[in-house]
Amino acid sequence: MAEVNNPETMQSLCKKFEAILRSGATQLSPEAISDIITAKDSANALRNLAKKYNVSYERIREIWEFAIAINN
């Protein structure tokens, strides 16, 4: 996975991700996206992140899938 603590990487990730977001989706900061990506393998991550950022499970999965796709 890309080094998500690098500001340039996060900006690039956010710009690319914006292109696939719905226009009415809850806006997430680069810090929130970084948190979502890095928490992927933690216990109950999907449920906890969805509640923390007030987004759907599907949205969390989309972020994870996108992060994996850009790193392959």
Sorted by where each begins, the domain ranges of the chain are: 28-72
What average pLDDT score do residues 41-47 get? Answer: 90
Reading the block at residue 34, the tokens are: 């970084």
What pLDDT, on a 0 to 100 scale, did the predictor assign at position 1? 44
What average pLDDT score do residues 22-36 get? Answer: 81
Interatomic CA distance for residues 62 and 21, integer angstroms: 9
pLDDT band at 30 (very low <50, low <70, confident <90, very high): confident
3-state SS, one letter per residue, for 10-62: HHHHHHHHHCCCCCCCCCCCHHHHHHHHHCCCCCCHHHHHHHHHCCCHHHHHH
